Amino acid sequence: MTSKKREISSNDINSEDKISKKQALQQEIPTRQFLIRAFFGPEKCVHNLAFNTVLGQYLSKGWNIQLEKKTLKELRESEWSATEFFDWIMNSDLHFILCHLHQSVEFWSILDIKTGYERLSTHSGFPTGRQTRCPVINQDKFDYLSSIKSFCNPTMQIMLPFEWTQMQSLGIQNFLYEVDEGKGWVVKSPYVTNTKVAFCSTAEKVLAAIETASEKSARSLSQNPYTMIQPTMSNRKEYRVVCLGMEPLYVARINAFKVGRSFSQEPHMELFEFVRQAIRTFKTALPDSFAESLFRVDVFQRADGRFVVNEFENLEACFDSTSANELTVVEHVKKIGRRIF
């Protein structure tokens, strides 16, 4: 009896290809357990959501992953030192820090946190490598504002503890005169989010606020190394521009100040071009910065009509908008998360 020879069809090839791909995927899955340690931000933080989604995808493929995490509340209650926290998170295969450490544990010194970030630069996870030097992640506000001097709200750095000299006093008064918009000035600290700002209507009040900041820094364990002076905007309207991949996407619905005159309308072409150039200048000046994922640029308008950057935000950038815009942000951050994993 003669056996009938069957021709190999394209379906057979595709089927074999699928099997080989599946086998290859299975071979790529490590048999050992991976330990991930993570510091989670607020419950609604988009980076938390992206992290959980991507982790779930790996678990569904059969990866053996153990997750240990600390929340804001747990870290504050632990009474760990900064060194103990970084020892814990680095004793793992991968680390993830998904919100700002400096605002989580007020009794940690800024120097200890910066030292901890430097240690993370050689450990797998996020942030790592050059990302750990990003001034937006560690909220060194004067560092990133001075990198975009021609784009930012005029800012003077005052090192703490402050020592009064005639030269210092004269320099401050000259700055106040040069940037005055007729509404006074603000004295505010770096390394904090949603900071309380001292609004000062006179030069004397500015000097008093600097002295108060200096005294607080001396008493505080966090020991802020400096404070900043900026002019109070005559127009308090602020536009918070949400960016993905260093490109402006939309203006978030949130407003720090609901008072003030609107200075940009849809489709915000002039505003978006300003934001685009500010981010590019920032990235060129500080190539270690992490601006490729969710990034928000907060913009004021000066009395002379110029746009100025007030702040940058990445790790905890609120991005309230329409559901379609928010979904775009979430999906983009998930893609970044998959690359990090």
**Most distant CA pair in the chain: distance in Å?**
111
Identify the band that residue 50 occupies on the pLDDT scale cut at 50, 70 and 90. confident
Closest CA to 200 of 223, 226, 224, 175: 175
In this predicted structure, the answer to whether residue 60 has a pLDDT above a threshold of 90 is no
Task: Count CA within 13 A, CB hemisphere, residue 105.
Answer: 22
Beta strands 295-301 and 307-313 are antiparallel
Q: Do 207 and 131 touch, CB atoms closer than 8 A?
A: no
The answer to whether 284 touches 276, Cβ cutoff 8 Å, is no
d(CA 53, CA 51): 6
At residue 151, the pLDDT reads: 96
Amino acid 2: pLDDT = 45
Q: What is the tens place of the pLDDT at every residue in 119-140?
A: 999 999 999 988 898 999 888 8
pLDDT tens profile 158-200: 998 888 787 788 899 999 999 999 999 999 988 876 566 899 9
Is 323's pLDDT higher than 90?
Answer: no
pLDDT of the residue at 154: 94
Taken in order of first residue, the domains within the chain and their CATH numbers are 29-132 (3.40.50), 154-231 (3.30.1490), 239-322+335-340 (3.30.470)
Percent of the chain at pLDDT exceeding 70: 83
Cis peptide before 267 (omega within 30 of 0): yes
Instruction: Over range 51-63, report the average pLDDT.
Output: 85
- Per-residue pLDDT tens over the stretch 301-317: 999 999 999 999 888 77
Question: Quick check: 18 pLDDT over 50?
Answer: no
pLDDT value for 189:
85
Angle at 136 between CA 131 and CA 140, to 5 degrees: 110
Mean of pLDDT values over 41-66: 81
State the sign of the Cα–Cα–Cα–Cα dihedral 38, 40, 44, 47.
Answer: negative
Write the pLDDT tens digit of every residue in 69-117. Answer: 998 888 888 888 889 999 999 999 999 998 888 765 667 888 888 899 9
Is the model's pLDDT at 340 over the cut of 70? no
Which amino acid, one-letter code, is at 318?
A: C
Choice between 29 and 293, residue whose per-residue pLDDT is larger: 293
Distance of CA 110 to the CA centre of its chain: 16
Q: How far is CA 244 from the centre of its chain?
A: 13
Region class of 223: left (phi > 0), else alpha (psi between -120 and 50), else beta: left
- Tell me how far apart the alpha carbons of residues 322 and 299 are, in angstroms, rounded to a whole number: 20
φ, ψ dihedrals at 75, nearest 5°:
-70, -40
Q: Residues 26-51: what's their mean pLDDT?
A: 77
Please indicate whether residue 298 or residue 164 has the higher confidence score (pLDDT): 298
CA torsion through residues 180, 182, 187, 188, sign: negative
Q: Note the pLDDT tens digit of each residue in 144-164.
A: 999 999 999 999 999 988 887
**Whole-angstrom distance, CA of residue 127 vs CA of residue 292:** 13
For residue range 199-257, what is the model confidence (pLDDT) as tens digits? 999 999 999 999 998 888 777 656 788 999 999 998 989 999 999 889 999 998 765 45
One DSSP character per residue, 292-338 reads SSSEEEEEEE-TTS-EEEEEEE-TT------HHHHHHHHHHHHHHHH
**Model confidence band, residue 13 (pLDDT cutoffs 50, 70, 90):** very low
CA distance 15 to 163: 77
